[in-house]
Structure formats: structure tokens, C-alpha cells
Amino acid sequence: MRVLTVNAGSSSLKLRLLDDDEQVASHDVQRWRGEVEPIRDFFHEHGAQAVGHRVVHGGPKVLGPAVLDEPLLRYLTSLTDLAPLHQARALDGLRATSQCAPDTPAVVCVDTAFHTTLPEAAGTYALPKEWNRHWSLRRYGFHGLSHGYASRRGAELAGVAGGRVLSCHLGAGASLAAVRDGRCVDTTMGFTPDEGLVMATRSGSIDPGLLGWLVTSGKVEPDELFTTLQKRSGLAGLTGGSGDLRDVLAARADCDLDAELAYDVYAHSLLRHAGAMVAAMGGLDLLVFTGGVGEHQPPLRADLAGNLGFLGVEVDPDRNTATGSDADISSDSAAVRTVVVESREDVEIARQTREVLTRPAR
């Protein structure tokens, strides 16, 4: 089955046509604002038997891939304020594709579905139970399509069957997933994609008392606070400039003290959360790096691996420096394997789309 995958980011659009797992055509739009034309032109040129869409938030009702229909579209629209940077763009992709190919079956693949296996203790906030129940407050987790693919592909590369996998999706947005025997048992993002690691422009986890103080003391208006936490914090906030780790590393090499502190905060956040994920699994058999930063920043990989050395993690310096994707970078003597996996959410989206559309009718 030839599947067109539509992956709309906060400002970009990635279109991929897959025949089984082989990519036969692709097109990227770096600055996409919901226009129909790129999708229409790609579909008319290449065609597809089905369309699979990445959607960030599925809320408490969408627990796996599902065929798109009007009620589902309305429900996903109602979740937009929970992931405003991504949900609206994904919905633009859904509507544009439906307009271009109204007779082609479409499947929604949600990032949150991978984390539905979280134990209640890991997924529940310590808030009044009536709040949790009434407003469906819980830790949903994100980047699930990436974590699902990377943990499986990483195990193949390392020759590890099942076991305890720490999946590190590191990009402008970043999260970790603790995957034990193929099931996610903990993750760093929560009710929204803002919890967890320090990211490019997002602060990650912050003391709620600090946030309350900023608002109640009149220092910051609520709207400004949330905008700042999402778009002006993280690496960008600490440097006062770029949130791109490449720029931070370059400035750090030039002895920029703000960049040095920003990198140290970023790396410490990664280490702290990695330790929590390993503890949740009861140990570690495989460390996986994926995403733009995970695939292309050997210094960060080396730093995290070195700090996890007490667990048996050790990377080979030459392999680590030479590798960009799909390779084992472990030292020969390492007890825990470390691999780099090219982010292929398109493969996971296509797999889930085929699974839904070929499922026997009940």
C-alpha cells in the first residue's frame, strides 16, 4: 500500500510517499502556514492509496491510530490549546489533504498514543482527584511516533531483544521515553509538550511556585508568561539569542559565558531526566539518540554517555564523531549499547495507517 504521510510541524511541512517502508518521493516546506498548494501538487504528481497524518495531541479519547471523520476532526480541534505550537498546523494538514483527496482514506496517528501504557503512578498528577477526573488532567507524553520507531529500530541495530531502552528524541522540542519490553513506562513531557527537558525555546519543568509568584505579584501577565515559557525560554532565553544548539556550541567555543551556561543547563537537564527514566525501568540495556540534535551533535552524545558511564554506557569516540544516523556508536567493551537512529516518523505513520486500513472488520 502506497501511503502519503503528512507531518506538519509548528512552522514546517514534511510530505513523504512510502511503498511499504521504502520512501519513493518527498517534499519539505520550511515555512508552511497551512497552504493547500504544496499538498495538492504533491498528491496530484505522485498519488497515494492512503494518507497518514501525524497529530501531536490525542487527548484521553484517541488511544491509537484512527480513521479520520468529522467527529474526530472536531474532537482534535478542541485540543488545540493543549499543544498550540503543533496541533493547529496538523489540523491544517488534515483539512488541506481532505480537500485535495476527498476520496482517499485518511488515518490520524497521534503522538500521545505511544504513552498510553504509562502506569497510573507515572501518568497521574498529584492534584485534587476531582480536577483530574473532570478535566482529564494527566501526563500524556509526546513524540510517541518517534520514540516508537527509534526504540524498535535501535534494538535492531544493537541486536538487543526487548529489554530496557532509553529513547532520546532531541530536537527543537525534546523528550525522553523509558521503554521496557516495547512498552513506554515513563516519559518527560506531560499534559502539554512544555514539561520536562530544557529545549530550544521552551523552559521545560519549572517550579510551579515560581510561576505563581510571577503572576500573583504582578511581575508578569498570564498570557505573557505562557508565551515566554514556550517561545522565549530554554536555550534562546539563556543566551538572549538563538535557541539552535549549533549556534550555542559555536558561541561556547568562542568563550561566550552565556552560551557556556546555557549548554551546561541543557546538558544537566538531560542527565537529570535520563537518570529518572533509567530508574523507572530498573536499569538500562540500550541508549538511543534520535532527532535533529540527537543525530547530529556528537559532543552532546559523548557528554551524556560519559555521565552515564557508571551504568556501563561508553561510546567509541571515532564512531560517535563519524556517525549521523542508524549506527552503533558503542565502544567494543561497553555493557550498555548506544545507537543513533535517523528519525523516521514517516515509517511509523505509514505502518500505523496500513494497520488500521487492513484490520479485519468486526
All cell numbers assigned to 249? 556550541
Helix axes 37-46, 87-100, angle to 10 degrees: 50
Active-site residue, from 69, 81, 92, 111: 111
Do 108 and 72 meet the contact criterion of CB atoms below 8 Å apart? yes
Q: Under a CB-based contact definition with an 8 Å cutoff, are residues 182 and 165 in contact?
A: no
Residue 131, CB-side half-sphere exposure with 13 Å CA sphere: 7
Retrieve residue 27's grid coordinates.
517534499
Confirm whether 316 is a catalytic residue.
Answer: no
Pairing of strands 2-8, 50-55: parallel
Which grid cell is 183?
512498552
Q: Which of 63, 30, 25 is nearest to 44 (CA)?
A: 25
Q: Provide the 3-class DSSP secondary structure of residue 274.
A: helix
Residues present in the chain in total:
362
Q: How far apart are CA 351 and CA 360, in angstroms?
A: 16
Q: Which residues are catalytic?
A: 111
